Chain A
Amino acid sequence: MAINRKNIRNFCIVAHIDHGKSTLADRLMEKTGQVSERDMEDQLLDSMDLERERGITIKLTPVRMFYKAKDGEEYVFNLIDTPGHVDFSYEVSRSLRACEGAILIVDATQGVQAQTLANAYLAIDNDLEILPVINKIDLASARPDETAEEIENILGVDASDAPRISAKSGLNIEEVLESVVKKIPAPRGDETAPLKALIFDSFYDNFKGVICFVRLMDGTVRVGDEITAFMTTKRFTVTEVGVFSPKMTPVHQLSAGEVGYIAASVKSIEDTAVGDTITSADNPAKEPLPGYKKALPMVFSGVFPLDGSKYGDLKDALLKLKLNDAALSIEPDNSVALGFGFRCGFLGLLHMDVIQERIEREFDLDIITTAPSVSYKVYKTDGTELMVENPTHLPPMTEIAYMEEPVIDANIFTPPEYVGPIMELCQYKRGVYKNMTYLDKTRVELRYVLPLNEIIYDFFDSLKSRTKGYASFDYEIKGYEKSDLVKLDMLLNGEICDALSIIVHKDKAYERGRQIAEKLKEVIPRQMFEIPIQAAVGGKIIARETVKAYRKDVLAKCYGGDVTRKKKLLEKQKEGKKKMRSIGTVEIPSEAFISILKTDSDK
C-alpha cells in the first residue's frame, strides 16, 4: 500500500525533564492501537534498561503509528523521541531535522522550565511547527490557564487551543492526535526526484550490518536498490527497508516524507555517518542535505578494566558502543598504576556516565575510570606544539613555554532571584562575565566565558543546587585561551599514582590538592600499614593526609563448628577486595579514581 504523503505527519515531542514526554508517547501508541493496553510495558520508548531506570532518553527511537482521524482519513504518524539532557542536545537537533512539527509538552504544575525553553527554541530554529500540550491537569496543583499564558508570553507560541491532558490517565489524548493532524504540516518532497535520505541515527546489527534510521526527503527506496552516500565512495545493495511499529518491521518501500530504516550489509559505521545523505548510486542527487555539526568529544577520561586480563573484552565493548555512538572516541592508553586501557572522549559528564554504566551492565565488565580531563594545547620551548588530553603525557614543566585550555561560551537561563548565586559560582569557576539579558520578568540569560575544565567537575550539580533546579545551562566551545596551568600529582605511600594526576589552574592547585587528599583519605580503606597521601606540584608537596593502619581485622574465634561459616565470611571479604586495585602496596577501591571529582563542592 503506497502511503499518500499528505497523510504523513512526522513529529517529535520536546519537554523539560519529567514533564511527561515518555508517558505521552506511550499513550499515543496505545490510542493508535500500536500497542495493546495489555502488552503495554511502562514507557516503551526508553528501551535501554539504563534509560528506564534513570527516566531519561538517550538514543533516538522512532515509532510509526496509524491514526484514523475524525475527518475519516487514515494518517501515518512518525514519532521520533528525543533525549532531554544538554549533553545530548546534538541528538535532539538530529531528530528535529527529520520532523515537520514538535509537540511541546509542559507540566501544568510547573509551567515553562529551562529545558522547555531550550528545546522549544531548538525546534523553532529548525522551522518546526510547535504544538503546545499542557500536561498533568489532573493534579490538584495544576495551573493550566497560567501555563498557557506562560507559553504564549515566553515562547510566543499560541496556546489558546492547546490540548489540556493527563498523559498518565489518558485524558484528552484524542485531542492531541487531532491537533497533530490539523496543525503539523504534511512533509514536502518529490517521490520522483533522485533519492535523498537523511541518516539521523544508526546502530550495528550482527546479522544485517549497519541499520540506518532515515528520513526520506525525496525519492523512494526499496530492496535491491543500489545506494551510496555523500561521504563515501562505496556502493551498497539495499537488503531491507522498514518502519518502526515500534519494533523494526520490513516494508515494501519507503518514499519521500517517510521515516524508517535501511539495511544494506554495510559493515562499517564510517560508511554511513549520522548526518550524511543516502542517495541512489546510479542516479545520485546533486547535493546532500545540510548535514549535522559533528559532535566533538570534549571530556576525556581513562577507562581501564578492573581485572587487567579483561583488556580485550573492554576493547570489544567500546568498539561496539562506538558503532552507534559517533561522539565516543577511543584510543589505547596505558598507566603505570592501572595497566592497559583506553583514553575515551565523551560529549560531557552524563555521556561519560552513561557509557561507563553501559559497559558495566551490557558487557558485564568491571571498570575503573580516571578523573575526566579536557584537551590542552601545549607550546613547548623548542617551538613545537602538542595536544595533551592525558595529564600523564604532559611534558616536564621546564619544557613548556605556555599552555592553552579550551573555553566555552556559556548561556545560563535562570529566574532573576538566582543571578547572584550563579555569578558567584561562575566567578569561582574562573568565568569571565559577558552580559546579562532580561528575557522577561521571570527569565534572565547570563552569558559567561568559562574554562571547560571547570565545567567538567561539578558545574551542573552546583548550578542546580544553587538555583533549586531552576537554572539551565547550554554551551558552545569558543576556542583556546592561554592559561597558567600546572600538573597536580597525588602520591600514595610516597609514590606518584599517575592515574590520579590532573591538570589544574595554578591558583587552584593548592585547594584541589587538599580536597583530593581529603577525599582519598575517605575512600581508601585502612590497611595493614599507615598510608601517607600527598598532593604535589612540580615535586613540591602541597598537602598531606594519612590513612591510619587498621587495628582489628581478625576472626575473633575459630573452632570446630566455625570453620565453614568463617570461611564464608572471608570469601565475602575477598569479594570486596576484588573491587580494589593494587597500586604498589596500596589497595585502592576502583571508585577512588572518579571520586576525586566530587571534591569541588560549594565551599
Chain B
Amino acid sequence: MSGIYIHIPFCKSKCTYCDFASYPKEVSKKEAYFACLYREIEGRGIQCRGKTFDTVYIGGGTPSFVPAKFITGALKQIRKCFTLSENPEITVEINPGTLDREKAEAYFDAGINRFSIGLQTGYDEQLKRLNRIHTAKDFLLCCNLLKGRNISADILIGLADQTAEQVKKTIDLALAGGVSHISVYALTPEPGTPIYTDYLNGALPSDDETADLYDAAANYLKEKGFYRYEVSNFAKKGFESRHNLNYWRRGEYIGAGVSASSFMDGRRFTNTYNIDEYMNAVIVNKFPEISSEKIEGDDAEFEFIMLGLRTFEGISAKKFSELFGHDFFEKYKSQIAKKSAFLDINGDNVRIKDKYLYVQNDIILEFMR
C-alpha cells in the first residue's frame, strides 16, 4: 500500500516551536501556489502510474486556514490523476481556530474522513505562549463541527512549567472532544525557532522531566483505552493512522507541494522549501526536487529496522527476508544478542519492550552499519 502527502505552506501566524515549511507572509500567493500544486499532482500521478494509493494526508502549515475550495480542488485533482483504493483514508490537518461549518461540510463532501486537530495543550496561557491562534474552547467547538467523525488530536509535552496533571487534563479535553486517536509529541526545540531561546535559557523541562510527562500521558491513555501503536501515537483499536503506519512499515509514498518528501522505487526525494522556487520549477514542468537519494543495502535495512522498531507491531523477520533477501536473525545475530534484554522476540516478530520504547536510540544504533 502507498500514501500521498500534500503540503499546504500557509498559516495565519507562526507558532514558536514551528520549523516546518509555513509562510504566513506569503498567503497572497495561494492562488498561484494551488495552481502549481495541481500541476505537480498531475506530474506525480504520471510518475506513479500503475500504483494504487490507500491514503491521502493533507498537512502543513494549516490546510484548514485556506478556503475549502483549494483543499477540495486538490483532492479532486488527486482522484483524477491517481488510482486510489476502494476505501482510502483521507486526512486533513486542522487548526481549531480556522474551522467553520461550511468548511467542515465541504470536507465531508470531498470525502475527507479523518481530521487531525492541533490541540497542543488545554491551557490557554500555554497556547498563547506558543503563539497558537486558538483557545481550549475553540478545540471543543471545532470537535463539535466534526462530531461523529474520526478525529485525532496532537498534544505537546515538554512545555515550560508543564505538569503531569496538565498533560492529563489536556488528554481529558481531547477525550471530551470525542477523539479516537492522540499523538503525544515531545517538544523539540530546533535552532532558529523562537522557542530555542527558551531552551537555551533553561526554561524548558529537562529530558527526565519530559520523560515523566510522557509516562504520565502513556499511562493515562492506557487507562482510557488507547493503546500505544507507535512511540508518540495512541489510538483506540482500529483507529490507527493508516497513512503514518505506512511510513513506519517503509511503504512507498509520494509527496506534492513545498517541502514534501517522497519515497518511491527505492529513492527518497524532497521538494524545495521555497514557494517561488517551487512555482518556477513547476511552471516549466519540472519536479521541484532539491535532493534525491537512492537507498540501498545496509542503509535500506537500517531504515526498515529503525522505523519498524518505533511501532507496537515491531518488525517481521519474514517481511525482512522478503524485502532484502536474507535472514534477519542471521545477519543481526550479534546485535540482537547484545540488545536482547530490551527486545521482545516472538517467532519472527521483534519489537522493543514497552519500558524501553522511549530510550530506543541506543538499541536502534546497534543496527546501524
Binding site for B on A (CB under 8 A): 527-528, 549-561, 563-564, 567, 570-571, 573-574, 577
Residues in A neighbouring B270, C-beta threshold 8 A: 561, 564
In the assembled complex, how far is the CB of residue B334 from the closest CB belonging to chain A, in whole angstroms? 12
Whether B365 sits at the interface, judged by CB under 8 Å, is yes
- Beyond A560-B263, A561-B270, A571-B368, whether A551 also contacts B358 by CB under 8 A is yes
Per-residue 0/1 for B167-198: is the Cβ within 8 Å of any A Cβ (1 yes, 0 no)? 00000000000000000011110000000000
- Beyond A556-B185, A559-B247, A563-B303, whether A570 also contacts B261 by CB under 8 A is no
Verify A564–B359 contact, CB threshold 8 A: no
Verify B188–A554 contact, CB threshold 8 A: no
Residue from the list B253, B359, B364 in contact with A570, Cβ < 8 A: B364
Residues in B neighbouring A574, C-beta threshold 8 A: 365, 368
Chain A minimum-CB-distance residue to B183: A557
Residues in B neighbouring A528, C-beta threshold 8 A: 342, 356, 359, 362-363
Interchain CA distance A559-B185 in the complex, whole Å: 12
Whether B5 sits at the interface, judged by CB under 8 Å, is yes
In the assembled complex, how far is the CB of residue B253 from the closest CB belonging to chain A, in whole angstroms? 5
In the assembled complex, how far is the CB of residue A406 from the closest CB belonging to chain B, in whole angstroms? 43
Chain A minimum-CB-distance residue to B263: A560
Per-residue 0/1 for B202-220: is the Cβ within 8 Å of any A Cβ (1 yes, 0 no)? 0000011011101000000
Residues in B neighbouring A552, C-beta threshold 8 A: 186, 207-208, 210-211, 214, 358-359
Residues in A neighbouring B231, C-beta threshold 8 A: 554-556
Verify B268–A563 contact, CB threshold 8 A: yes
Chain A minimum-CB-distance residue to B254: A560
* 18 pairs, A vs B, C-beta closer than 8 Å: A550-B207, A551-B212, A553-B362, A554-B231, A555-B231, A556-B188, A556-B231, A556-B232, A560-B247, A560-B255, A561-B260, A561-B261, A563-B247, A564-B268, A564-B291, A567-B306, A570-B364, A574-B365
Residues in B neighbouring A555, C-beta threshold 8 A: 231, 310, 361
In the assembled complex, how far is the CB of residue A464 from the closest CB belonging to chain B, in whole angstroms? 34
Per-residue 0/1 for B281-321: is the Cβ within 8 Å of any A Cβ (1 yes, 0 no)? 00000000001010000000011001100100000000000
Residues in A neighbouring B363, C-beta threshold 8 A: 528
Whether B357 sits at the interface, judged by CB under 8 Å, is yes
Verify A551–B207 contact, CB threshold 8 A: yes
Verify A563–B232 contact, CB threshold 8 A: no
Whether B259 sits at the interface, judged by CB under 8 Å, is yes
- Beyond A560-B255, A561-B270, A570-B368, whether A554 also contacts B260 by CB under 8 A is no
Interchain CA distance A551-B356 in the complex, whole Å: 9
| Contacts beyond the supplied A554-B358, A560-B253: 6 A-B pairs with Cβ under 8 Å | A554-B359, A558-B247, A559-B247, A560-B5, A570-B306, A570-B368
In the assembled complex, how far is the CB of residue A346 from the closest CB belonging to chain B, in whole angstroms? 36
Verify A573–B211 contact, CB threshold 8 A: no
Interchain CA distance A558-B263 in the complex, whole Å: 14
- Beyond A528-B342, A551-B211, A564-B268, whether A558 also contacts B358 by CB under 8 A is no
Whether B72 sits at the interface, judged by CB under 8 Å, is no
Verify B186–A577 contact, CB threshold 8 A: no
Whether B244 sits at the interface, judged by CB under 8 Å, is yes
Verify A550–B365 contact, CB threshold 8 A: no
Residues in A neighbouring B261, C-beta threshold 8 A: 560-561, 563-564
In the assembled complex, how far is the CB of residue A524 from the closest CB belonging to chain B, in whole angstroms? 14
Whether B162 sits at the interface, judged by CB under 8 Å, is no
Residues in B neighbouring A571, C-beta threshold 8 A: 368
Verify B310–A558 contact, CB threshold 8 A: yes
Residues in A neighbouring B360, C-beta threshold 8 A: 553-554
Interchain CA distance A550-B362 in the complex, whole Å: 11
Residues in A neighbouring B303, C-beta threshold 8 A: 563, 567
Residues in A neighbouring B244, C-beta threshold 8 A: 559
Per-residue 0/1 for B226-267: is the Cβ within 8 Å of any A Cβ (1 yes, 0 no)? 000001100000000000100110000101000111110000
Chain B minimum-CB-distance residue to A561: B261
**10 smallest A-B Cβ distances: which pairs?**
A551-B211, A561-B261, A552-B207, A556-B186, A552-B211, A553-B359, A553-B361, A560-B247, A551-B208, A556-B188
Verify A554–B306 contact, CB threshold 8 A: no
Chain A minimum-CB-distance residue to B357: A554
Residues in B neighbouring A527, C-beta threshold 8 A: 362
* Residues 345-367 (chain B) with a chain A CB within 8 angstroms: 356-365
Residues in A neighbouring B207, C-beta threshold 8 A: 550-553
Chain B minimum-CB-distance residue to A551: B211
Interchain CA distance A551-B208 in the complex, whole Å: 6
Verify A573–B361 contact, CB threshold 8 A: yes
Interchain CA distance A376-B248 in the complex, whole Å: 60
Residues in B neighbouring A556, C-beta threshold 8 A: 185-188, 231-232
In the assembled complex, how far is the CB of residue B141 from the closest CB belonging to chain A, in whole angstroms? 27
In the assembled complex, how far is the CB of residue B3 from the closest CB belonging to chain A, in whole angstroms? 8
Chain A minimum-CB-distance residue to B269: A564
Interchain CA distance A554-B253 in the complex, whole Å: 24
Chain B minimum-CB-distance residue to A550: B359
Residues in A neighbouring B361, C-beta threshold 8 A: 553-555, 570, 573
Per-residue 0/1 for B114-126: is the Cβ within 8 Å of any A Cβ (1 yes, 0 no)? 0000000000000
Interchain CA distance A559-B255 in the complex, whole Å: 12
Residues in A neighbouring B211, C-beta threshold 8 A: 551-552
Verify B365–A570 contact, CB threshold 8 A: yes
Report which residue of A553, A554, A577 has the largest number of chain B beta carbons within 10 angstroms of its beta carbon: A554
Interchain CA distance A528-B310 in the complex, whole Å: 17
Chain B minimum-CB-distance residue to A587: B362
Chain B minimum-CB-distance residue to A529: B341
In the assembled complex, how far is the CB of residue B17 from the closest CB belonging to chain A, in whole angstroms? 11
Residues in A neighbouring B307, C-beta threshold 8 A: 558, 563
Residues in B neighbouring A551, C-beta threshold 8 A: 207-208, 211-212, 358-359
Interchain CA distance A571-B365 in the complex, whole Å: 8
Interchain CA distance A560-B253 in the complex, whole Å: 8
Interchain CA distance A196-B47 in the complex, whole Å: 86
Interchain CA distance A571-B5 in the complex, whole Å: 27
Chain B minimum-CB-distance residue to A549: B359
Chain A minimum-CB-distance residue to B364: A570
In the assembled complex, how far is the CB of residue A547 from the closest CB belonging to chain B, in whole angstroms? 13
Chain B minimum-CB-distance residue to A577: B365
Verify B255–A561 contact, CB threshold 8 A: yes
Residues in A neighbouring B210, C-beta threshold 8 A: 552
Report which residue of A549, A561, A564, A574 has the largest number of chain B beta carbons within 10 angstroms of its beta carbon: A561
* Residues 76-92 (chain B) with a chain A CB within 8 angstroms: none
Interchain CA distance A554-B361 in the complex, whole Å: 5
Residues in B neighbouring A559, C-beta threshold 8 A: 244, 247
Residues in B neighbouring A558, C-beta threshold 8 A: 247-248, 306-307, 310
Verify A563–B186 contact, CB threshold 8 A: no
In the assembled complex, how far is the CB of residue B228 from the closest CB belonging to chain A, in whole angstroms? 13
Chain A minimum-CB-distance residue to B248: A558
In the assembled complex, how far is the CB of residue B8 from the closest CB belonging to chain A, in whole angstroms? 14
Interchain CA distance A574-B310 in the complex, whole Å: 18
Residues in B neighbouring A550, C-beta threshold 8 A: 207, 359
Residues in A neighbouring B342, C-beta threshold 8 A: 528
Verify A557–B232 contact, CB threshold 8 A: yes
Interchain CA distance A528-B339 in the complex, whole Å: 10
In the assembled complex, how far is the CB of residue A521 from the closest CB belonging to chain B, in whole angstroms? 16
